[in-house]
Chain A
Amino acid sequence: MNFWERILALDRRWVYVGIALAVILPITLGLEMTLGTTSPPTQDFYDAVEALKPGAPVLIAFDYGPSSMPELDPQAKAIVRHCLSRKLRIICVALWPTGTALARDVLSSVGEDMGAVDGEDYVNLGFKAGSVAVILGLGEDISDVYPQDAEGRKTSGLAVMKGVKSYADVPLMVDLAAGNSPFGWISYAHERYHQKVAAGITAVMATDLYPYLQTGQLVGLVNGLKGAAEYEDLIHHHGMGVRGMSAQSIAHLWIIFLVIVGNIAYFAMRRASRE
Chain B
Amino acid sequence: MKLQVPLVITFLVGVFMAVQFFVPHEVGQGGYEMLLKWARLVGAFALVLGIGSLWRTHGDKIRRRRPDWPYSVVALVSFVVMVVLGIVYGHGEHTGFDWVFRHIQVPLDATMFALLAFFVASAAFRTFRARSVEATLLLVTALVVMLGRVPIGELLYHRMPQVSEWIMTVPTVAGKRGILLGVALGAAATALRIILGIERSHLGGAGGSGEGE
Which A residues fall within an 8 A CB radius of B? 8, 10, 12, 15-16, 18-20, 23, 33-37, 39-40, 65-70, 98, 100-101, 104, 108, 128-134, 136-137, 140, 144-145, 150-152, 192, 203, 206-208, 210-211, 214, 224, 226, 245-246, 248-256, 258-259, 261-263, 266-267
Q: Is the CB of A255 within 8 A of B106?
A: no
**Given known A18-B121, A23-B117, contact A248–B150 (CB-CB < 8 A):** yes
Residues of chain A with a CB closer than 8 A to B21's CB: 192
Residues of chain B with a CB closer than 8 A to A206's CB: 168
Q: Is the CB of B44 within 8 A of A15?
A: no
B58-66, B123-131, B197-205 - the one binding chain A: B123-131
Residues of chain B with a CB closer than 8 A to A132's CB: 39
A254 to B147, CA, bound (A): 11
Q: Is the CB of A136 within 8 A of B110?
A: no
Residues of chain B with a CB closer than 8 A to A210's CB: 168-169, 172-173, 176
Residues of chain A with a CB closer than 8 A to B44's CB: 129-130
A40 to B169, CA, bound (A): 11
Q: Is the CB of A15 within 8 A of B122?
A: yes
Residues of chain B with a CB closer than 8 A to A65's CB: 109
Q: Mark B160-175, 1 if CB is under 8 A from A, else 0.
A: 0110010011001100
Q: Is the CB of B146 within 8 A of A258?
A: no
Q: Mark B99-141, 1 if CB is under 8 A from A, else 0.
A: 0011001110110110001101110111011100000000100
From A36, A211, A224, A254, B176 is in contact (CB under 8 Å) with: A211
Q: Is the CB of B128 within 8 A of A259?
A: yes
B56 within 8 Å of A by Cβ? Answer: no
Q: Is the CB of B39 within 8 A of A256?
A: no
Name the CB-closest residue of B to A267: B130
Q: Mark B45-86, 1 if CB is under 8 A from A, else 0.
A: 011000000000000000000000000000000000000000
In the complex, how many angstroms separate the beta carbon of A224 from the nearest chain B beta carbon?
7
In the complex, how many angstroms separate the beta carbon of B122 from the nearest chain A beta carbon?
5
Name the CB-closest residue of B to A257: B125
Residues of chain B with a CB closer than 8 A to A40's CB: 165
**Given known A15-B118, A37-B154, A252-B147, contact A133–B112 (CB-CB < 8 A):** no
Q: Is the CB of B161 within 8 A of A259?
A: no
**Given known A37-B161, A255-B120, contact A129–B47 (CB-CB < 8 A):** yes
**Given known A67-B113, A210-B172, A210-B176, contact A129–B43 (CB-CB < 8 A):** yes
Name the CB-closest residue of A to B109: A66
